[in-house]
Structure 1
Amino acid sequence: MWQRYKTLIVAIFALIFSHHALADGAWDSYKSRFLMPDGRIVDTGNKSVSHTEGQGFAMMMAVLNDDRDSFDKIWGWTRTTLKNPENGLFYWRYNPVEAQPITDKNNATDGDTFIAWALLKAGEKWSDKDYLNESDAITKALVAHNVIRFAGYQVMLPGAKGFNLNSYVNLNPSYFIFPAWQDFANRSHLMVWRDLINDGQKLLGKMQFGNPQLPSDWVSLYSDGRTVPAKQWPARFSYDAIRVPLYVYWFNHNSPQLQVYKTWWGRFARDKTPAWVNVTTGDPAPYMMDGGLLAVRDLVLQPASAAQPQITAQEDYYSASLKMLVGLSTK
């Protein structure tokens, strides 16, 4: 009898350790592909530039993989190189081959949000008040420079400059990072974060365009409350908006707002799902989902079978990042 129990215990531990090995292996693969020795994350699909999105993603991955050394390296480069001393936010893009690597002094609120969120998680995980104070300073700056009330909604602009056009504002719904906003609300007890969550969800309900009934990557909110695909970008549910259902799921695994994505993707066999769709015309992409896009689809349609991420040698930065974020959203 004891031998049978011993065999069972060994099998259970083997399963546990193999699960962790997969997770750790994915993070190791990600670092080996995209993390430079100085802490810069390289976007291999975009001429090896870096941006706050990638820095923030990787900081969160490091925290949830309990890798403080990598976290400090990534945060150190981000703070030293990208922090804007004038407003406490971060320059959104760094191009290493330019004589002046930072030409656009604007921020991107998805990157800022992930950086602040990762610092909050790091402070809690490793009991470090410095991380928590840095996170608080960034969230305070976000509220001061990027959050406005418009058309009766509390909204977070995608950047401090260029998105408020008076009669309308341009929004990026993939910057509605609900689980981060929830953690900021829990820490600060400020109503602004709860208002962003509630109004962001209301706005997503209005951003269901055309036959697909999906949000476009960029959306204009007019002063009368209308929402339309922003004219400055293609009217597509594409590589930005793919993160909308990811963050909705991360916030609430059972959110009714996931239904529109289930309905759209449920029309297609897994290997015949278009990579994007024009929400105005209904025209699909001429190529199919793969890599990280498929990982998000699988998360929404079959969350119970979501596998640990596998980062391939051919995978570009964004596809690998989506896979890693899908894995984090289930933890």
Structure 2
Amino acid sequence: MQLAQNGQLSRPAQTGISSARPLVVIPLQLTRTVTQRCMHMLSRLVSIVLLCVACCIDVADSTAATPSSRSSDNHIRRLDDLSALWSFYKQTYIQSGRVVSLDENNITTSEGQGYAMLRAVWSNDRATFNSVWAWTKQHLQVREDKLFAWKWKGAVLDKNSATDADTDIALALILAARRFDHPAFEQESLAIIDSIWNQEIVHIDSRAYVVAGNWARYENYPTIHIAYLAPYAYEIFASIDSHHPWSQVIEASYAILHWLYDEEALPVPPELIYLDPRTEKLSVRHPITGASSSFSYDAFPIFWRVALDAAWFGRSEGPLRQKMLGFFQHEWTAHGIFFDRYSLKGLPLSSSEGLPLYATVHALAFQEQHDLARLLSDKKLAPLEAVAVGGKRVPYYFQNWLWFGQALTLSQTRHYEEFLGFLRPFDVVGFSEHFPWELFAVTALLYLIARWHPVLKFAFLLCGFSLCLRYLHWRLFYTLNVLETGGLFISVALWAAELYAFSTVVLLCIQVGVGWRRQPVCPPERSQGVVPSVDVFIPIYSESCEILEKTLIGASAMEYPRKRIYVLDDSHREEVCRLAERFGATYIKGPRRHAKAGNLNHALTQTDGELVVVFDTDHIPVTTFLAETVPFFADPKMGFVQTPHHFYNQDIFQRALVAGPRIPNEQDLFNHGIQGGRQGWQGAFFVGSGAVFRRSAIIGLNGFNLMSITEDIHTSQHLHARGWKSAFVDKNLAVGLTAENLASYIVQRRRWMLGCLQIFFKDNPLLCRGLSLRHRLGYFASLYYFFFPVARVVFWVTPLSRYESDRPVMGRSTARSTP
């Protein structure tokens, strides 16, 4: 086909055909117009649909799936409460490493020290672990072996050991060695394990029975505490101690439980049983005195210990665990309550609730009977936990087992050798359920296509801001720590730092806008023959003459008929004067007052050009600099024209990354992106160099502003307040030197920060008369940015704390009977 003269398409004549059908001819311009309109309509339709979808998703998420209604949040809140329980326990019961039982006449037991060490490991609290372990070693590990005196108050009150405490302490040291990567803890644990084997175990044939303490081995009928049986710990001991057959202890422990529940058919275990070392027979009653114990506090922990063994090693003891829960299932169905003391026939011997029993039975039910576990959690443990989290002091024994029970069900009681255990701290399921995936997906899609149309860009920002605001709302109302000393201050500071980061993004949008691609700025038409005179100011203080010489070469080469060059020397050096004379520039001695601004103002009194150009000593202009900038002053309201800073050396980041020009200069975002965006609303400001000023505008301010060491932005602020316009020519019309090392970089940025903060506090643009609203916000954004070190310090030093603040205070507490 060929293009006809009238702009229509025609086809060549077809030979061999006497009569051809006429061809429909469509003008090219019409085709293009229709195509463009169709694409424009399609783009608008897509953007409107996506915007509506995003808004609907956001509204649906915020109404139908608030953070508190998500299923994963229950898990998150329980983890928060677990952490809060530990924090409250530390503040209330631990004094310089000593655990004080405030409800038991302020005694300290090896049991309490062991509990605190385990909880510290599972809470990842090494400082507390170190403190408790140091106190325990110093005050309780005073025997000839490596076991621990079980009771202390000012001094050791009873030097005998308690096997459960020795076991817990040894286990805590092994776990600490793994979690804190401190092998010395394991070596200390090995010594304790050896003493347990030699002092607290009775060996009969191929079985090894754990007895109540070192003293029990010497009894005619050694006493066995049922709640001291800890098969999970013996399995861990076996993993590091190859000298003793700990499998025999595990076998004997389960043999005792099977004897109680299978042979004796007891509904609940007694606190104590007795072993005949000659016949290997077990007895509920003492063979000589006939005394027997009931089921009470000292037996409660056995259910948790069996549950932890099941969780860690999954032993095939399901039928036994079901039998252990059978009585409590019946008791809950019949009475809806567990008493703190029962006879061995299952009859209540007290009218008081056994609060720790709810926690230990719940842990076992969590492994075997989920319905019972749910009922106990909803009806009993949740209110009891609210009491403890709400700041009410509860007995340390109950507080411990409440924590241990919750930690087990939340998978926090780890042995740190799990398969792929490093993935355990991250709650993938909870994160997935809590995260607004739909809104995030729409936001990501909009990001990819936002440049197609301003409406798409606006929709992207709307969705992105919605995500941010949802996050800030969640952080403010669901995560502040009001329980620990200083916790509220720390968590509010962290939230404020996050709010600051979000606000800087909002202010950035105000500065650069969200419109279509920017068009290059063009100067107005200028009257022929009108050429204003230009004074070129090059201030110098400590820079070398070599750098000044390059700038003078560039300034002299600028193509402009009416220009004069001035070197403003605040150093008063003879070599600077000679260099200026060599290039035909006028040398002016600076006043050595008010730094650069004072130097410029002094030069204003010595010169008379209609326009004033300012170049830093290291900024070399191109030959067309004045030709590109002076025409803008045809507008009588144009106060100054700024050009971007461009650098011919690598900045510290390009140099450190050995990337050179492959990555942009660190200042390009501001010098092109932000300044270019501000040009759209005539908000570009003076940045110290590469700018042209109308003299009358500067004189109207009585010169460059002297209040701040960053006179550039402050002067711009007041020029705009006086009604003068500014323009930004986004062309690299001058090149300079950027900070070449960290020291000079810090000095430069410190000067910028201090100067901007001076303006912020002494002449805040929000209160500056004459500025439009956008100019006020734009200048405020530039000054406000320099608070970023505060936010960064907060991010660096503040651990992420997530605590829910509005927890009810209710319920009752009880104390454990003394051993």
What interval of TM-score do these two structures reach, taking the shorter chain for normalisation?
0.7 to 0.9
For residue 298 of structure 1, what is the aligned residue in structure 2?
362
Whether 2:213 is the aligned partner of 1:150: answer no
| Structure 2 SS opposite 1:227 | strand
| CA separation of 1:228 and 1:321: change in aligned 2, threshold 3 A | same
Q: 1:30-45 to 2 correspondence within 5 Å?
A: 30-36=89-95, 38-45=96-103
Identical-pair percentage: 21
Give the C-alpha shift of residue 54 in structure 1. 0.5
Query: What residue in structure 2 maps to residue 175 of structure 1?
Result: 228
1:287 aligns with 2:341: no
Letter in 2 for 1:291: L
1:130 pairs with one of 184, 188, 210: 184
Match of 1:263 among 303, 308, 326: 326
CA-CA distance at 1:23 after TM superposition: 1.6
TM-score, scaled to structure 1? 0.87
Q: How far apart, CA to CA, are the structure 2 residues paired with 1:239 and 1:300?
A: 16
Name the CA shift for 1:289/1:83 in 2 (closer, same or farther; >3 Å). same
TM-score (norm 2): 0.37
Q: Which has the higher contact order (CA 8 A, sep 6+)?
A: 1
Contact 1:152 1:225 in 2 (8 A): no
The answer to whether the aligner puts 1:317 opposite 2:396 as a matched pair is: yes
- Alpha-carbon separation, structure 1, partners of 2:170 and 2:355: 27
Cα distance in 2 for partners of 1:320, 1:71 equals: 18
Map of 1:1-331 to 2, 5 A cutoff?
4=57, 11=67, 17-36=76-95, 38-96=96-154, 101-150=155-204, 153-166=207-220, 168-190=221-243, 192-208=245-261, 212-222=266-276, 223-231=278-286, 234-253=292-311, 255-256=317-318, 257-269=320-332, 271-279=336-344, 282-302=346-366, 304=370, 305=374, 306=377, 310=385, 312=388, 313-330=392-409, 331=411
Q: Which sits farther off after the overlay, 60-69 or 218-227?
A: 218-227
* Alignment gaps of 5+ in structure 2: 1-52, 412-819
- Computing the radius of gyration over CA atoms, which structure comes out larger, 1 or 2? 2
Aligned-residue CA RMSD (Å): 2.8
Distance 1:230 1:32 in 2: 42
> d(CA) in 1 for partners of 2:271 and 2:398?
17
Which one is further off, 110-119 or 296-305? 296-305
**1:147-188 superposed Cα distances (whole Å, 9 cap, x missing partner):** 22137631122211244323x221111111111111111222
Q: Distance in 2 between matches of 1:277 and 1:16?
A: 34
What letter is aligned with 1:319?
Answer: F
**SS of structure 2 residue aligned to 1:268:** helix
- CA distance in structure 2 between the aligned counterparts of 1:265 and 1:258, rounded to whole angstroms: 12
Q: How many residues align?
A: 324
Paired with 1:214 and 1:182, the residues of 2 have a C-alpha distance of 25
Is the CA contact (8 Å cut-off) linking 1:215 and 1:241 kept in structure 2?
Answer: yes
Would you say the 8 A contact 1:271–1:289 is kept in 2?
A: no
Cα deviation, 1:131-159, whole Å, max 9, x if unaligned, reads 11111111111112222213763112221
- Judge conservation of contact 1:207–1:227 (CA < 8 Å) in 2: no
Instruction: Give 1:240 shift.
Output: 1.2
Conservation of the 8 A alpha-carbon contact between 1:181 and 1:193: yes
For 1:291 and 1:52, the matched residues in 2 are separated by: 22
**Matched-pair contact (CA < 8 Å) for 2:115–2:400:** yes
**Separation in structure 1 between the aligned mates of residue 54 and residue 169 of structure 2, nearest angstrom:** 50
> SS of 2:202's equivalent?
strand
Partner Cα distance (1:239, 1:70) in 2: 27
Secondary structure of 1:136's partner? helix
The one-letter code sitting in structure 2 at the alignment partner of 1:327 is Q
Question: Which consecutive unaligned segments of at least 5 residues does structure 1 have?
Answer: none
Is the partner of 1:286 in helix, strand or coil?
coil
1:252 counterpart SS class? helix
